[in-house]
Structure 1
Amino acid sequence: MTPGRGLVRYAGFAAVLSAAGLPIYIHAPKFYVDTQGVTLAQLSIALFALRLFDVVQDPLLGCLSERTREFRGSMVAGAGAIMATAMAMLFAIPPMLPPIWWFALSLALLFSAFSFLTICFYAQGVARAAQTDGNHVRLAAWRETGALIGVCIAAVLPTVLTGTGAPFLWYALAFAAATALALLLMAPEWSSRGTAPRSTGLRTVLSDAVARRLLLIALVNAAPVAVTSTLFLFFVADRLGAPGQEGWLLLLFFLSAAAAVPAWGKAAARFGARHTLMAAMTLAIVAFAFALPLGTGDLWAFAAVCIASGAAVGADLSLLPALFARRMAVIAPSAADGFGLWSFVNKATLALAAIALFPILKASGFVSGEQNGDLALWSLTLLYAGIPLGLKTLALTLLARTGKGIDV
Structure 2
Amino acid sequence: MAVSPPSQRLSLPVALSFASTALPIAAIGLVMGVYLPRFFAGHLGLSMVAVGAAITIVRLLDLAVDPLLGMAMDRTTSRWGRYRPWLVVGAPLVMASVYMLFMADTGVSEGFVIGWLLVLYLGISIVTLAQAAWGAALATDYNDRSRVYGVISAVGVIGAVLILVVQLAVKGSFADSVHAMGWFCIVLLPITVTLCIWISPERVAPKTTGEHASFSDYWKLITRPEMMRLILADFVMALGPGTTAALYLFFFHDARGYTGPQTSILLMFYIAAGLAGAIFWSWLAQKMGKHRTLMLTSVCYAFTQSALMIIPKATMALAIPGMFAVGFVSSAFVLIVRAMVADVADEVRLETGEERAGLLYALVTTTQKIGGAITVGISFTVLGMVGYNASEGAVNTPEAIRGLELCYVFAPIILVFVGGACFIGWKLDAARHGEVRRQLDLRDALAAEAGVLATNSGVSLPDAKA
TM-score computed with the length of structure 1 as normaliser: 0.92
Alignment of 1:31-50 (within 5 A): 31-50=39-58
CA distance in 1, matches of 2:149, 2:258: 35
Give the counterpart of 1:402 among 410, 425, 430. Answer: 425
Give the counterpart of 2:187 among 173, 177, 181. Answer: 177
Partner of 2:7: none
Give the counterpart of 1:195 among 205, 210, 219. Answer: 205
Q: 2:35, 2:178 within 8 Å by CA — same for their partners in 1?
A: no
Matched residue of 1:230: which SS?
A: helix
Give the counterpart of 2:196 among 174, 186, 189. Answer: 186
Determine if the alignment matches structure 1 residue 92 to structure 2 residue 109: no
CA distance in 2, matches of 1:266, 1:191: 24
Which residue identity lines up with residue 400 of structure 2 in the other structure?
Answer: A
Determine if the alignment matches structure 1 residue 366 to structure 2 residue 388: yes
Mean alpha-carbon deviation: is it higher for 184-193 or for 21-30? 184-193
Give the superposition deviation at 1:195.
2.3
Give the superposition deviation at 1:256.
0.5
Q: What's the C-alpha RMSD, in Å, of the aligned pairs?
A: 2.3
Partner of 1:139: 148
Q: 1:364, 1:375 within 8 Å by CA — same for their partners in 2?
A: yes
Partner of 2:328: 311
CA distance in 1, matches of 2:410, 2:248: 14
Partner of 1:8: 16
Give the superposition deviation at 1:252.
0.3
Percent identity (aligned): 20
Q: Deviations over 1:77-114 (max 9, x none)?
A: 1210110111011112547x734222222211111100
Partner of 2:456: none
Give the counterpart of 1:282 among 275, 281, 299. Answer: 299
Give the superposition deviation at 1:182.
1.0
Whichever structure has more helix as a proportion of its residues is: 1
Determine if the alignment matches structure 1 residue 265 to structure 2 residue 282: yes
Mean alpha-carbon deviation: is it higher for 11-20 or for 252-261? 11-20
CA distance in 2, matches of 1:63, 1:310: 34
CA distance in 1, matches of 2:338, 2:168: 31
Q: Judging changes above 3 Å, is the alpha-carbon distance between structure 1 residues 94 and 365 closer, same or farther for their aligned structure 2 residues?
A: closer
CA distance in 1, matches of 2:53, 2:105: 22
Partner of 1:381: 405
Give every structure 1 segment of 4 or more consecutive aligned residues whose post-TM-superposition deviation is greater than 4 Å. Answer: none
Q: Deviations over 1:143-176 (max 9, x none)?
A: 1111111122224422222359833333222212
Matched residue of 1:20: which SS?
A: helix
CA distance in 2, matches of 1:194, 1:349: 32
Q: Deviations over 1:271-306 (max 9, x none)?
A: 222222222211110012212355642444332331
Partner of 2:375: 353
Mean alpha-carbon deviation: is it higher for 60-69 or for 192-201? 192-201
Partner of 1:105: 115
Q: 1:21, 1:114 within 8 Å by CA — same for their partners in 2?
A: no
Which residue identity lines up with residue 38 of structure 1 in the other structure?
Answer: L
CA distance in 2, matches of 1:110, 1:338: 22
Which residue identity lines up with residue 290 of structure 1 in the other structure?
Answer: A
Mean alpha-carbon deviation: is it higher for 137-146 or for 160-169? 160-169
Partner of 2:254: 238
Give the superposition deviation at 1:377.
0.9
Q: Judging changes above 3 Å, is the alpha-carbon distance between structure 1 residues 64 and 307 closer, same or farther for their aligned structure 2 residues?
A: same
Partner of 2:168: 159
Partner of 2:91: 80
Q: Judging changes above 3 Å, is the alpha-carbon distance between structure 1 residues 365 and 296 closer, same or farther for their aligned structure 2 residues?
A: farther
Which residue identity lines up with residue 259 of structure 1 in the other structure?
Answer: A
Q: 1:127, 1:196 within 8 Å by CA — same for their partners in 2?
A: no
Q: 1:129, 1:139 within 8 Å by CA — same for their partners in 2?
A: yes
Q: 1:240, 1:299 within 8 Å by CA — same for their partners in 2?
A: no
Partner of 2:441: none
Q: 1:249, 1:306 within 8 Å by CA — same for their partners in 2?
A: yes
CA distance in 2, matches of 1:42, 1:134: 45
Which residue identity lines up with residue 125 of structure 2 in the other structure?
Answer: S
CA distance in 2, matches of 1:303, 1:26: 18
CA distance in 2, matches of 1:56, 1:352: 16
Q: Judging changes above 3 Å, is the alpha-carbon distance between structure 1 residues 293 and 127 closer, same or farther for their aligned structure 2 residues?
A: same
Q: Deviations over 1:119-140 (max 9, x none)?
A: 111000010002x794311111
CA distance in 1, matches of 2:181, 2:335: 27
CA distance in 1, matches of 2:301, 2:375: 19
Partner of 1:340: 362
Q: 1:10, 1:186 within 8 Å by CA — same for their partners in 2?
A: yes
CA distance in 2, matches of 1:134, 1:140: 10
Which residue identity lines up with residue 351 of structure 1 in the other structure?
Answer: A
Matched residue of 1:372: which SS?
A: coil
CA distance in 1, matches of 2:164, 2:206: 37
Determine if the alignment matches structure 1 residue 68 to structure 2 residue 76: yes
Q: 2:90, 2:123 within 8 Å by CA — same for their partners in 1?
A: yes
Q: 2:294, 2:336 within 8 Å by CA — same for their partners in 1?
A: yes
